A and B are shown apart, each in its own frame.
Chain A
Amino acid sequence: MEKTIMKDSYILRSFYPVVFWIINLFALFVFFKGHNAPGGGFIAGIASAISLVFLYVIEGRACLNRIPNPVLLAAVGLGLAYGTALVPTLFNQAFLMHTMWHLHIPLLGDLHIGTPALFDLGVYFVVIGITVGIALWFDEASEYE
């Protein structure tokens, strides 16, 4: 039996999968609304991190196999952000120069996609990795006091 932080709560355990997806849907929504309305990678990252920290609170260390390694996640995010910044220099553009594509797709309407989303995705990953990582390590460290 894995040690968990809280006493086992049947209600929480049964409800949490639904809550988990709701939080992450919210995060997704906020992430993509970011460019034109309140939201963005940072906020979405905190939301997703909350969902993962709660998962850890409920399931204990058992959930660690299912969630990505926080350090790796943060490193990938950092790499993504720097990569997005560096790629324009290969095309004789300034460092961090963003490109937007404005497409008109029938039935769906106007679509604006661009490299800022990739940069924001990097921020998103870094924020998740850091928040989850710090929560995990604090918990582990205090256990071995």
Chain B
Amino acid sequence: MGILIAIGLPLLTALSIGAFRLKRWVFTLSFLSALGSVASLYTQVPLNQVYTWPWMPNMLIDFSFIADGLSLFFGYVVSVVGCFILFYAKQYLPKVSDSNPRFYAYILLFMAAMLGTLFSNNIILLFIFWELTGVVSFLLIGFNTNTQKGQLGSRMAFMVTATTGLVMLLGVLLLGFLYQTFDISMISQLPALDSTVWTVLAFSCILVGVMGKSAQFPLHFWLPNAMAAPTPVSAYLHSAAMVKLGVFLIARFYPLLSNLDCWYIVGVVGLTTMVVGAVLALLTYDLKGILAYTTVSQLGYLIGFYGLGGPGGVEHDFFHILNHVLYKGSLFMVAGIVIHAFHTQDIRKMGGAFSAMPLAAIACIISAASMAGIPGTTGFLSKELMLAHMLHHPHAPILVGALVVSASSLVATACRLCLHIFSRSKSADPVQPQGILFQLPPFILAIVTISVGLFPKSVTQWLAQASVTGLHVAKPHNVYLWHGFTTELIISLCITLFGIVVYSVFQTFRWRLTLPAIFQLDAGFNRGVNGLPRVSQWFNHICRVDSIHAHIPIVLVSFLGLMATLLFALSPTLTISTISVVYLPLLIITGTAAIIISMSKKWHIKLIALSVVGLLVSFTFFLYKAPDLVLTQLLIEIVSLVLLLLFFKKFSAMKRKEDHAIHDRSGLSFLKALLSIGVGFIVFMLIQLVNSPASSNPIGQFFIENTIPLAGGNNAVNTILVDFRGFDTMGEISVLFIAMLGVMGLLWKKRS
């Protein structure tokens, strides 16, 4: 039950903060709720226990949750970091603000959505929570709604993650259809998939979802733009939580999909992103932007690690993830403190901040060292393990080369972060000192980084308990701080040296290089989004919606084309029915009235002729013994007459003359007449087609026979409307309602 409480507690707290509009004690409540979430994860005893409540059993969709090692590990990361973030946000946010409760509620909602994604045992449920994290991240990134940066950033993040999420839905649906189940615990016991067209397609779709969510190249551009969010949000969503979902999903599907021939693409995507992100981090001067690009790089590192795979599974993947969460969370929090102190995000304007924030400075140095992979930190161990793993791979030279490039860029970035913020003093203004409580969360994370880095054995053993069959190797190697003089250590040393060289090279160029235009994909994305209205304008232009005289022929010609094709395809079943001579006078009068409508130049004559047609049509219904239709048609005639009178009363005489002028152009009239005759003919033929004995399906008989036993009414027409086909009626009245709102929007003019 622990996992259910862990999901439900933050969710309920968030909803009640919103529902009761709580103003006071919101932080305490949120913090306790997050702590409760961690505690209830701790009490989750039976692993691999499945909790299921039926939701849509026919469609194999249930509320089903599972706690296995993978989801529990990620669950701990999300909830524990969530506690840190809440504590940090309390210091970060303004002391008194009306929007603070909203912030805490969003964070808790996000936490619940994250935990829901992790513990879902049904792929469709997982997808729902997955998209929910996207929605909440949209709200959080755009939390400062009044800035254009926030609006654009949240729009971009949401569009990228939601669109790729839909592609992922396609993939998981394919998987579900292949296996006839959406149950993850059942799927994971099935044998791994072979490469067929469908499995490769499913794999590609899921990979696109992962690339969007985890900001993989070339979809990485939303992450730096999402840095418009308040810093606690960046620290949480963009280092520990949301962007890790892609990594989680890759790990989730690893047992199933890693046998595919194309699995290596995951590695290619990940390692490319690793290099691109690390290099781009050198080319930006926005403090949070630098961290965002290093995050992109590190996410590529993690996904690439899964992409490389290994015989019998991977090992120490949780250690790599933990390493990144620790140092990146800490660095983001330090960035928030620094930005608070300097009131700017531009790293070129910072310097000499050590004395104002000693704890944060120490945290930053430790975390940056971890990012650079200096011995004594978790980053060092992670890099050593990765190098050892790569050296055993057939393509070792390429892999190690990519790692060297990205890691030495990260070393340079780490040097830049520590030296430029804390050591040299540039600004004349004294740096604003920051409170101890504010600096505490990143400091604690840094302490954990260094203590795990020095004594890794206990943690790795604890992580090994959470191993998942199929994903992890049965017996992982132990991790030691000192492996002896190995190849890895030598490469590591080279990386550090290279990094320092890169730093000094950039230092001499004064970091003037900026992002090349070809990598500014975000600008292209925004141009594309802003260009969409132009596409629809162009389409409107082609369809001539500006002029009704040009638009209606276009619509009618398309209709004629479609229907003529249909008729032609079904023509073998067509039989023309005959009618009795009795109807002939009726038809002649109706036809004459219709011709009068189109020929007459006086509007009141047109109106009378129109009513004559309507009444004669209802008389025809009467002859065919359809009293319901007669009644309806009569009333409709009355309503339309009244409405038309209302319009005509308003039209000025001049306007009517203009209309006639268009009418009188003989060529145009001929075309219109041709179109009208065409439409009449096609509709006549369609009715004949429907009534042809070969194609008509006498479903009416069923309704007439069952109207009393099933619907309890004698009038089958009405029982069809409200009962047998009630769903159609509901759709119709909904469409009517929408049409009414449309008319209202078009006609409603503001009275000034």
Q: Tell me the A residues contacting B by CB distance below 8 Å.
A: 5, 30, 34-43, 46-47, 49-50, 53-54, 57, 70-71, 74-75, 77-78, 81-82, 85, 95-96, 98, 100, 102, 112, 114, 116, 119-120, 122-123, 126-127, 129-131, 133-135, 137-145
Known contacts A47-B635, A96-B727, A120-B722; is A81 also within 8 Å of B733 by CB?
yes
Complex: how many Å from CA A14 to CA B630?
31
Q: How many A-B residue pairs have CB under 8 A?
A: 146
Closest to B630 in A: A38
Interface residues of B in 628-659 (CB under 8 A from A): 628, 630-632, 635-636, 638-639, 642-643, 646-647, 649-651
Known contacts A38-B715, A40-B722, A144-B749; is A53 also within 8 Å of B632 by CB?
no
Q: Any chain A CB within 8 A of the CB of B529? A: no
The 5 closest A-B pairs by CB, nearest first: A142-B650, A35-B713, A36-B714, A141-B747, A38-B627
Contact B635 A46 (CB under 8 A): yes
Q: Which residues of A are found within 8 Å of B638, using beta-carbon distances?
A: 46, 50
Quote the shortest CB–CB distance from A63 to chain B (angstroms).
Answer: 15
Partner of A34, one of B639, B718, B730, B736: B718
Q: Which residues of A are found within 8 Å of B669, using beta-carbon distances?
A: none
Besides A98-B723, A140-B747, A144-B749, 20 new A-B residue pairs in contact (Cβ under 8 A), listed by A number: A35-B713, A36-B713, A38-B631, A40-B718, A42-B721, A43-B628, A43-B635, A74-B740, A81-B730, A98-B722, A100-B711, A100-B712, A114-B712, A116-B713, A122-B733, A123-B733, A130-B740, A141-B749, A142-B647, A142-B651
Contact B744 A137 (CB under 8 A): yes
Contact A137 B747 (CB under 8 A): yes
Known contacts A38-B628, A50-B638, A142-B650; is A71 also within 8 Å of B740 by CB?
yes
Quote the shortest CB–CB distance from A101 to chain B (angstroms).
Answer: 9
Quote the shortest CB–CB distance from B641 to chain A (angstroms).
Answer: 10
Contact A35 B718 (CB under 8 A): yes
Main secondary structure of the interface of A (DSSP, over half): helix
Q: Any chain A CB within 8 A of the CB of B469? A: no
Complex: how many Å from CA A100 to CA B711?
8
Contact B642 A54 (CB under 8 A): yes
Partner of B719, one of A35, A96, A122, A137: A35
Contact B649 A5 (CB under 8 A): yes
Complex: how many Å from CA A102 to CA B733?
28
Complex: how many Å from CA A82 to CA B647?
34
Contact B747 A130 (CB under 8 A): no
Complex: how many Å from CA A34 to CA B329?
68
Contact A138 B747 (CB under 8 A): yes
Quote the shortest CB–CB distance from B53 to chain A (angstroms).
Answer: 16
Partner of A96, one of B650, B726, B740: B726
Contact A138 B627 (CB under 8 A): no
Closest to A126 in B: B733
Quote the shortest CB–CB distance from B655 to chain A (angstroms).
Answer: 9
Known contacts A74-B737, A78-B737; is A50 also within 8 Å of B711 by CB?
no
Q: Which residues of A are found within 8 Å of B737, using beta-carbon distances?
A: 74-75, 78, 126, 130
Contact A139 B646 (CB under 8 A): yes
Q: Which residues of B are found within 8 Å of A120, using beta-carbon distances?
A: 722
Closest to B708 in A: A36
Q: Any chain A CB within 8 A of the CB of B734? A: yes
Q: Any chain A CB within 8 A of the CB of B729? A: yes
Interface residues of B in 138-183 (CB under 8 A from A): none
Known contacts A78-B734, A96-B730, A126-B733; is A119 also within 8 Å of B722 by CB?
yes
Quote the shortest CB–CB distance from A90 to chain B (angstroms).
Answer: 16
Contact B726 A98 (CB under 8 A): yes
Known contacts A50-B638, A98-B723, A145-B650; is A43 also within 8 Å of B715 by CB?
no
Q: Any chain A CB within 8 A of the CB of B668? A: no
Q: Which residues of A are found within 8 Å of B635, using beta-carbon distances?
A: 43, 46-47, 50
Complex: how many Å from CA A8 to CA B282?
81
Known contacts A36-B713, A50-B642, A112-B712; is A77 also within 8 Å of B743 by CB?
no
Quote the shortest CB–CB distance from A95 to chain B (angstroms).
Answer: 8
Contact B639 A53 (CB under 8 A): yes
Quote the shortest CB–CB distance from A111 to chain B (angstroms).
Answer: 12
Complex: how many Å from CA A134 to CA B642?
12
Contact B639 A50 (CB under 8 A): yes
Complex: how many Å from CA A82 to CA B722?
12
Q: Any chain A CB within 8 A of the CB of B739? A: yes
Q: Which of A116, A127, A141 has the most CB of B within 10 A?
A: A116
Q: Which residues of A are found within 8 Å of B712, using beta-carbon distances?
A: 35, 100, 102, 112, 114
Closest to A46 in B: B635
Contact B739 A30 (CB under 8 A): no
Complex: how many Å from CA A93 to CA B741?
32
Complex: how many Å from CA A102 to CA B711?
12
